[in-house]
Amino acid sequence: MKEQPLVSIIVPAYNYGTYVHRAIGSCLRQSSGNLEVIVIDDGSTDATGEIVRKIADQRVVYHYQENQGVSAARNKGLRMAKGDFIAFLDADDYLTDDSVETRVTVMLENPDIDFVTTTASSVDDAGRVSFRPYRGPRDIVSRELCQALLLKRIPYTTSAVLVRGSHARKFEFATDLNNGEDLVFFSKVFFDRKGCFLSKPTAVTFSHPDSLRHNIANLRTQGAGLIEAIFDDPYFAGRLEHIRRPFAANRYVELFRRFYRSGDDKLAREYYRKALALEPSRIFKIDHLFKFIRTWF
């Protein structure tokens, strides 16, 4: 019987001792069992390392490094990975039991496909899992998934992407970004390569107060730098320039929403105005307009 291809699952972790055992456990329960779980402890000061080292499974590889950020942790995992296929799992997320098998099967049946990305469910603090149905085409095989990713025409989360190892190793995560670095990485992975989008969820994402606070702090520092990081990258040779404007407008709206929720009315107004300057028709999005008006009171 032919041995199953090896799948490397890279789990960056920083002070996520509360969640990391669940993430690793979801990997070890996979219906497809030939895998390695590479946990990169990015300088945790909590019990993350102790928890991982106690897991008695030879498939789990633990590496500690001084704190350098999530991009550096993922890059270290990429260098350590031995797999034919590579996936990334955030330490506070987890996989469905058939996550690896579902995605690997597609790629084994279609040797010309370089990556598979899927929808994801979400879980709240009370442990309630929910799934927002995707209303587009059920499954897509295309060389245009980079544009679909950047224009939010398909759902996306880092923990739901599987990439051929030979292709993933061509790239690195940007260590000079502290928000959206995964989007920069996967826009390159997806660009002009045949990939598959599945509407079936293969991961469960967890948004919690710690991650939300951290994201807002990063966004204040970085601002709209993600736009330049993608569209000014020579890798794309200008071939994405035709979607810079709608991407930027979407990004400004996202920043507007994030800062509005965090109570930073001044920054929220700034990014709403920037979105309107690019696409004035967005003023007819009544929900956003009402939020903008509320920032003045």
pLDDT of residue 244: 97
The CATH T-level fold of domain 7-207 is Spore Coat Polysaccharide Biosynthesis Protein SpsA; Chain A (3.90.550)
pLDDT of residue 224: 82
Q: How does residue 151 score in pLDDT terms, banded at 50, 70 and 90?
A: very high
Rounded CA gap, 18 and 138, in Å?
A: 35
203-206 and 94-95: which strand pairing?
A: antiparallel
Tokens of 251: 């990004």
Evaluate if residue 209 carries a pLDDT over 80.
no
What are residue 239's phi and psi, to 5 degrees?
A: -75, -5
pLDDT of residue 1: 52
pLDDT of residue 223: 78
Rounded CA gap, 254 and 206, in Å?
A: 19
Please count the other Cβ atoms lying within 10 Å of the Cβ belonging to residue 277: 12
Q: How does residue 104 score in pLDDT terms, banded at 50, 70 and 90?
A: very high
pLDDT of residue 210: 65
Evaluate if residue 204 carries a pLDDT over 90.
yes
pLDDT of residue 217: 74
Q: How does residue 170 score in pLDDT terms, banded at 50, 70 and 90?
A: very high
Rounded CA gap, 118 and 277, in Å?
A: 33
Evaluate if residue 212 carries a pLDDT over 80.
no
Mean pLDDT of the chain: 93
- The mean per-residue pLDDT over the stretch 168-193 comes to 95
Rounded CA gap, 196 and 20, in Å?
A: 28
pLDDT of residue 194: 98
pLDDT of residue 85: 98
- Domain boundaries in the chain? 7-207, 212-294
Most confident of 119-128, 132-141, 241-250: 241-250
Rounded CA gap, 139 and 245, in Å?
A: 27
- Please report, for residues 128, 188, 259, 264, 276, the alpha-carbon distance to residue 251 in angstroms, rounded to integers and kept in the order given: 29, 18, 12, 17, 12
Evaluate if residue 214 carries a pLDDT over 60.
no
Evaluate if residue 94 carries a pLDDT over 60.
yes
Q: Cβ(171)–Cβ(191) under 8 Å? A: no
Q: Which positions ≥6 away from 253 have C-beta within 8 Å?
A: 271, 272, 275, 282, 288
What is Dmax (Cα atoms) for the chain? 69
- 78 residue type, one letter: L
